[in-house]
Amino acid sequence: MAVPDDRVANKSLIERRSIDYIPDGERHGRLFSQFTLWLGANLQITAIVTGALAVVLGGDVFWSLVGLLFGQLLGGGVMALHAAQGPKLCLPQMISSRVQFGVYGAVIPLVLVCLMYIGFSASGSVLAGQAVAQLIHVQDWQGILIFAALIVVATIFGYRVIHVIGRVASVIGIIAFVYLFGALLAGNDIGALLGNKHFSLASFLLAISLSASWQIAFGPYVADYSRYLPRSTSAVKTFWAVGLGSIIGAQASMVFGVFAAALAGKSFAHHEVSFIVSLGGTGVVAALLYFSVAFGKVTITTLNAYGSFMSIATIVSGFRGNRHISSGLRLTYIFAMVGIATLLALAGKDSFLKDFSAFILFLLAFFTPWSAINLVDFYCVTKERYDIPALSDPNGRYGRWNWVGIGVYVFGVLIQMPFISTQFYTGPLVLPLGDTDISWIIGLVVPAAVYYLIAKKWHSAIPDRLILPEATQAAQTPKTGSRTQPAMN
């Protein structure tokens, strides 16, 4: 007897689905895998460097640690709310933006998300390339290319393999961090570093911004990795599994980065990987630490590559009117996105720290308004009642362009401009506020309030319940000759 298609897909190591809806027969996974995936994704070198920036850019150790934790909690809460959408909608994160922006209008945040993926992949490849180069004794550029090849392979396999990598990375990361923290605490006077306090509001808010932006930047793709969970999975438990994994992993990494930068001083820049590994030892121990650094980057860089492929596919599918992506097109997207990120990594490997700090802070201006609009719409306006088939129909309920969502989004970006302080641009109100960047707070709160007030009056028709694709009900209902109606939940 032939094996049902959904059972084959459920057991296949290579993912068959891309951006299409995940039927109930193919739903699988446990909440613990969500925790380990995001723990492993954050126990890695780029998170260490992000934490180090709080000190490199002028903060003291004590208040940098406090600010980073505060930002983790704020940004992690936003990120975990996006994760809870996955089991409910069974779709990649950014497709849900079509409700707020229209089927064509969703391209606006999607293009920006692709830029984010490329930037994070490029920056991560620089650090991973350093580790690979040290491990096998080659040039940094060769290490970057080898690492890129590994990412392509992992991304082709997709969802199931990504979660396996996450579990392994979390174990390796915990072992490596415990060892490095032990070496750090044993060889240095950490108490003296903590005791040297000189509070600066600008530096404190910078630390909050660094960690909050780190977490919020996961928002556009966190539901991609929870969408296979069974529909019965608790949204609250999903929130905590993802949120705790991400917050614990990121804060541990950033705490280590703060101490490492405070001890290293100017020698930290351009030698991030080698300095951190040197804290733990030489010889075989150093080789193992280089391996842990490289493997730690595999998880998050694969997430970025996988997410970039999904975003490109979502852009194309919006204009094609369907969500099916062929295997050949999938490979093309993956090679293209990883290739662009690798070229940027090769071009910018000698000025990584400076460029990355500007990049991660500038991201906030574009993703806090999107997060605010998406979450307010899902939880407060539509109250989880989406018409999923209409997400692929430009002539359907959500239309081609939703000017309410687009207008609020543009307003949310623009209203931050006077408060932004980056290498790219500094707003006129930064100096009067004591050289403090509060743009991300403005960009999160104001668009949320404005969108809620406007959408409550001018939102497109909201269904009474969550409408699922016709295929779901057709697979569950005996054939009677009657016409199948959209399933509802």
Query: Which SS3 state, helix, strand or coil, does residue 42 take?
Result: helix
pLDDT tens digits, 412-448 = 999 999 988 777 778 888 888 777 778 888 999 999 9
Which residue pairs, CB below 8 angstroms and at least 24 apart, start in 28-31?
Answer: 28/228, 28/229, 28/230, 29/163, 29/228, 29/229, 29/230, 31/229, 31/233, 31/237, 31/238, 31/241
The count of C-alpha atoms lying within 13 angstroms of the C-alpha of 284, restricted to the half-sphere facing its C-beta, is 0
Mean local confidence (pLDDT), 302-322: 76
Least Cα distance to 272 among 56, 41, 43 occurs for 56
Quote the pTM value: 0.83
pLDDT tens digits, 79-122 = 999 999 989 888 888 888 999 999 999 898 888 888 878 877 88
| Greatest alpha-carbon span in the chain | 78
Query: Which SS3 state, helix, strand or coil, does residue 43 take?
Result: coil
DSSP letter string over 327-389?
HHHHHHHHHHHHHHHHHHHHHHGGGHHHHHHHHHHHHHHHHHHHHHHHHHIIIIISTT--BTG
Q: What are phi and psi of 393, to 5 degrees?
A: -120, 105
Given pLDDT bands bounded at 50, 70 and 90, which one contains residue 266? low
End-to-end Cα, the chain, rounded Å: 32
Query: Which SS3 state, helix, strand or coil, does residue 268 take?
Result: helix
CA distance 312 to 95: 11
| Placement of tokens 């400076």 in the chain | 354
Check residues 130 and 12 and name the one with the higher pLDDT. 130
CA distance 160 to 182: 34
**Domain 25-365: which topology?**
Hydantoin permease (1.10.4160)
Given this model, what pLDDT does residue 482 score?
40
